[in-house]
Amino acid sequence: MNRMNLDQIIHEAVVKHMRRPLIVAGNWKMNMTVREGREFLEKLGSVEGSVLLFPPYTTLAALAPEMRRKGVLYGPQNFHYEDGGAYTGEISIPMIRELECSCLLAGHSERRTYYNETDEALSRKTARGVRSGFQVMLCIGESLEERKNGRWQKKLIEQMALDLKDLSFRELGSVLIAYEPVWAIGTGVSASLEEIGETHRLLKLAMRELFGRELPLLYGGSVNEKNAFDIGSCPYVDGFLIGGASLKPEKFREIIEISKRV
Ligand code: 13P
């Protein structure tokens, strides 16, 4: 074993030992009516630690007090960078502030793909969100084609650099990154532990180079109660962003419990 490897192993052990409890975040996407959300929270019960939900707007507004009572942190899946105006179908920061949200989701691959969300718009959103006192969870991820043709590293670093370009060192302290390989979302097959380990290490190194600091880094893409322990045990994984498995209270609860043991 050469010196480089030993240093790496020690660093990873220190990182693993010193990190905070894992963050468990659920993205409900376009699922969960108010009634379904209420039933979900009843079954979930109270939680401790960093547990976050991103419900659709109607459910978010209706169930914000109930989520607070349960100890669940919450926020919207998207938001606009302007405070108001002629933007049909959009939601602004002042509207979100009324609901006492703590974290805003930005840049999910489904929004980038289906609603043409650009890096330019995202750089405005992240700056607006952070400067309004919120934490912002920025999603990044490569397509299957980019993974296969070796352009995934460039793509991920570019997304981070462009989407956070207007933030100062101090402001970056309010940003979390969710790495979600597009090809692992909703497929039932997560990235392998090797891929997750390699990618998260690369991203943490890139953060140090780009921003001079590391940001919390979550993994998302077919996380469930069966693979959460192994994924959560990878160095540089600070939590999960969960889609499908966050819709089932028993599964989501199980992942929360697992995250305490990792
Ligand atoms: P799945 O957990 O269903 O793969 O979704 C991941 C996701 O997109 C969370 O934002």
Taking only the tens place, the pLDDT of each residue in 55-110 is: 999 999 999 999 999 999 999 999 999 999 999 999 999 999 999 999 999 999 99
DSSP bridge pairs for 177? 138, 217
Residues enclosing ligand 1, CB less than 6 A?
27, 108, 180, 185-186, 220-223, 241-245
Residue 3 pLDDT: 45
Closest by Cα among 231, 215, 206, 212 to 156? 206
pLDDT at 4: 47
The per-residue pLDDT for 21 is: 87
Q: Which atom of ligand 1 is nearest to the CA of 105?
A: 10
Per-residue b or e along 192-212, where b marks 16 or more CB atoms closer than 10 Å to that residue's CB:
eeebbbebbbbbbebbeebbe
* Structural contact between residues 207 and 199, judged by C-beta atoms closer than 8 angstroms: no
Calculate the alpha carbon distances from 111 to 48, 79, 107 in Å. 30, 11, 6
pLDDT tens sequence for the chain (262 residues):
444 454 555 455 555 555 568 999 999 999 999 999 999 999 999 999 999 999 999 999 999 999 999 999 999 999 999 999 999 999 999 999 999 999 999 999 999 999 999 999 999 999 999 999 999 999 999 999 999 999 999 999 999 999 999 999 999 999 999 999 999 999 999 999 999 999 999 999 999 999 999 999 999 999 999 999 999 999 999 999 999 999 999 999 999 999 999 9
Choice among 142, 146, 180, 225 that is catalytic: 180
The CA distance from 113 to 182, in Å, is 10
